[in-house]
Amino acid sequence: MAEPQPYPLIERIARAIATALATITAANGYRTTVSEVLRPRRTGERVTPKANMILLLQAGIGPEEELDAAGNPGLIGRVASFSADCVIALSESDARPMDEILNIFAADVEQCLMADPTWGGLAIDTLVSGLDYPEAGSGVAGVTVLFDVSYRTDRDDPYSP
């Protein structure tokens, strides 16, 4: 008998995403070098934004009925929404436009997310759904990459792939 999984499938997917995002470095062919990937507490405590940091958050999980499948047990399709908050700190002496830096960081994150949209076979697909920017004057410089991961589990076992 196989050893039971210690984490539900969605947690294994989230961990795979965080691990992949941490590989965004110039040495790996990207234009940005990520300083840290953090899955913060939802309260925001213990988070000190750093240049080139990514804060990875789950935004919600819902049904994806097109992925349901009959069987014993049946399979239930789900879609999990994530956000990758990409924080930058641009020196006042840096003459590059802020949007240029944000566009490069977001493109690097998107390229990383799409390198293996199945997360090693844990998911069915990943789709980048948009970019979001903090309000001007908020004191935060960055961009949020929004993406959805489609996956399915046994109807009666959220730990199953």
Domains and CATH numbers, the chain: 9-41+49-154 (3.30.2000.30)
Question: What would the two tokens of residue 144 be?
Answer: 């949020």
Classify residue 160 as exposed, middle or buried by CB count within 10 Å of its CB (0-12, 13-18, 19+): middle
Instruction: Tell me the per-residue pLDDT of 29-43, one tens digit each, with 9 for 90 and over.
Output: 999 999 999 999 887
Judge contact between 142 and 85, C-beta under 8 A.
yes
pLDDT of residue 136: 72
CA distance 161 to 3: 14
Judge contact between 58 and 80, C-beta under 8 A.
yes
Instruction: Tell me the per-residue pLDDT of 11-64, one tens digit each, with 9 for 90 and over.
Output: 999 999 999 999 999 999 999 999 999 999 887 777 888 899 999 999 999 999
